[in-house]
Amino acid sequence: MSKQAPTLAQVAKIAGVSQMTASRALNDKPGVSHETREAVLKIASDIGYVVNRSAQKLSGSRNGIIGIMTPVLDNHYVGELVVGVGRAARAQGYETLVYTLFDEDRHSHRSVLGLIKQFTDGVVAILPRESAYFNALAAANVPVVAIDQRCSLDGFPSVSVDSYGGAVRAVEHLAQLGHTRIGFVGGDESIEGVRDRRRGYLDALARLGLPSDPNLIAPGDLSQMRAFEAGSSLLALSEPPTAIFAVNDLSAFGVIAAAREQGLRVPRDLSVVGFDDIPMASQVHPPLTTIRQPFAQMGRAAVNTLLSQMENDDAIAPRIVLPTELIVRESTGPAPRYAVGTRRTKRSDHDRTTSR
């Protein structure tokens, strides 16, 4: 026979307080002295009492938990956003639970939504592409704020950054250094931010009167390995670029590795700009010039917007777009003085001279 779980009444009786006081202490509500709260929490821990979150939700009270939905966790960009949301939530007295959605084809919407409705008061969805989960969340009437996705669904506020403007600044920076042949390593075109960065790259070239050569655009998938292949293909052109703008920092790392593989030095022979400014960007060699996304600010904006939505605030901004910032480090420099297409020869001549 299984042992019956401890109840709130038992906790209250042992602590010598009312059930209402015990409940307030266990759920970190006001109106309870510090000494009483500590005593109740210790008794609950000693006898193995666990707060029944399902009962809380059925009674209309809040859990004090914000859910975070994301496809993956092994991603520097997502990791920074999760940290930003977590810190912002804690500053508002909330904890976070992370739900990873590895495979949408498994049709697990119902089970995931069941968990979300049972344990959380609202959701921050880090879903950069259109997802069936958005439809399911809308149908379930769950408060949601999306990050990195400008949702068209009613009632879904979003927080994103100015990817288009960031891409324009990246290209302008390279042009100011004298680069006229600027390549682009892209990513998954189903992601809105990726499309915006490609559009910003092309528009900036046109505005500056620089050539827009389709051969200078290489597809990627936001990974370092795929960007290594893309960068290698660009550098193998008969007229290779002297600078490359990569759609994210991981792709920029792959481009730098491709340049080294071909005996080129960054930034002497090739300048590289990334996008995101993940922590590793300042730690690689050379430190990466990149477009910074304000991860902490994105987290705060998402949490504050979600809390306003939970309070049924009619003044919620449907879309928040935060500015990006150009961070100049050592991976960009003046365009080479020698002619495009002769970089490898000149590099070899220089090496032979300096090695004597």
The pLDDT, as a whole number, for residue 4 is: 66
> What is the C-alpha to C-alpha distance for residues 110 and 190, in angstroms, rounded to an integer?
25
The parent domain of residue 42 ranges over: 8-51
Residues 168 and 126 in one domain: no
Residues 89 and 169 in one domain: no
Q: Is there a cis peptide before residue 157, judged by omega within 30 degrees of 0?
A: no
Residues 230 and 342 in one domain: yes
The pLDDT, as a whole number, for residue 154 is: 53
The pLDDT, as a whole number, for residue 61 is: 55
Domain count, the chain: 3
Structure tokens at 48: 């193995």
Residues 206 and 341 in one domain: yes
> What is the C-alpha to C-alpha distance for residues 42 and 19, in angstroms, rounded to an integer?
15
Contact between 148 and 192 (Cβ < 8 Å) = yes
Residues 156 and 18 in one domain: no
Structure tokens at 166: 């960031």
Amino acid at 211: P
The pLDDT, as a whole number, for residue 228 is: 98
The pLDDT, as a whole number, for residue 350 is: 39
Contact between 188 and 226 (Cβ < 8 Å) = no
The pLDDT, as a whole number, for residue 315 is: 54
- Residue 60 maps to a domain: no
> What is the C-alpha to C-alpha distance for residues 205 and 195, in angstroms, rounded to an integer?
16
The pLDDT, as a whole number, for residue 46 is: 79
SS3 call for 193:
helix
The pLDDT, as a whole number, for residue 337 is: 79
- Residue 313 maps to a domain: yes
Contact between 77 and 128 (Cβ < 8 Å) = no
Query: Could you report the average pLDDT of every consecutive run of 10 residues in the chain (356 residues)?
Result: 68 86 75 85 77 50 80 83 92 86 56 68 79 69 80 69 97 98 93 93 97 94 96 96 97 97 96 97 96 94 87 67 96 82 45 37
- Tell me how many degrees the CA angle 101-102-105 measures, rounded to the nearest 5: 90
The pLDDT, as a whole number, for residue 10 is: 85
